[in-house]
Amino acid sequence: MPILETLRQLLKPGRRPETEPAAAYDIWAHAYDSQPDNLMLALDHSLCGELLSPIPLAGKTIVDVGCGTGRHWAAIFSQSPGRLIGYDVSRGMLDRLRSKYPDAETCLLSGTALSGLGHSSCDLVLSTLTVAHIPDLPAALAEWNRVLKRGGDMVITDYHPTALARGGQRTFREGERLIAIRNHIYPLSHVLSITRRLGLTEIAACERTIDESMRPWYERQNSLPVFHRFLGVPIIFGLHLKKADASQ
């Protein structure tokens, strides 16, 4: 998207000021796991499960970047990984994760460095609903690639950049306040140009678009105007990437 058009979208009337992710998720942490009607979390659960299903996890070392409260950890643990490490910018979200998994291996993330992980030390890098929160995506993806083994997998999901470019925002309520979280718009073509330069191959790419089947979610939130505004717009995307093994 041209820079001027991106600015027009960002400055359109009604767009809420955005809070930096660490501060926002610290506020949201106590209620994050109590959202039965959060469409984005439901879509991410489905999409992430689809992308992970062909990847064997037993005995593998997995790093979850932007792990939050560990939404996907029960499914991962059910497959007996060798090691699961979570990184997040929010201390509050990590506290919630450890309340569910007291022995969880976690690290508070500052910048893009995955401290404590050596080169080629992980079989899977997982990052869900996180990419658009990262200010320096090329540096982050390079770091994820650094810790990924040859032949390893990378699975990414996030809020679709098309929806963000149309004025979509990640928001949550805290009492009477509606808080929006800082996002950066990275077109998928830009994301893929970075991953290709890093030597990652696309195994699968998918997205979910707002359609009539999702109307009830918006009705329950009294948000039908938002539904009509985004009807037909892709709302979430997912990528499964693979790093070439030593023989390739």
**pLDDT score recorded for residue 245:** 87
Q: In this structure, is residue 106 part of a structural domain?
A: yes
Query: Does the residue 248 lie in any domain?
Result: no
Q: How many structural domains compose the chain? A: 1
Residue 94 is inside which H or E element, if any? helix 91-100
- Structural domain contains residue 23: yes
Q: Which stretches of the chain drop beneath a pLDDT of 70? A: 1-14, 246-248
Residue 9 covered by a domain:
yes
Residue 223 counted as domain residue: yes
Asked if residue 198 belongs to a domain, the reply is yes
Residue 18 in domain? yes
| Residue numbers of the domain that contains 44 | 3-33+40-113+121-243
Structure token pair of residue 147: 């810790």
Q: What is the pTM of this model?
A: 0.92
Q: Would you say residue 203 lies in a domain?
A: yes
pLDDT of residue 16: 83
CB 183 within 8 A of CB 133: yes
DSSP string across 173-184: EETTEEEEE---
CATH for 56: 3.40.50.150
What are the CA-CA distances from residue 218 to residues 37, 179, 180, 210, 228 (Å)?
9, 18, 18, 11, 10
Alpha-carbon span 66 to 125, nearest angstrom:
11
Per-residue confidence (pLDDT) for residue 13, from 0 to 100: 44
Tokens of 50: 């689809």
What is the structure's pLDDT at 241?
98
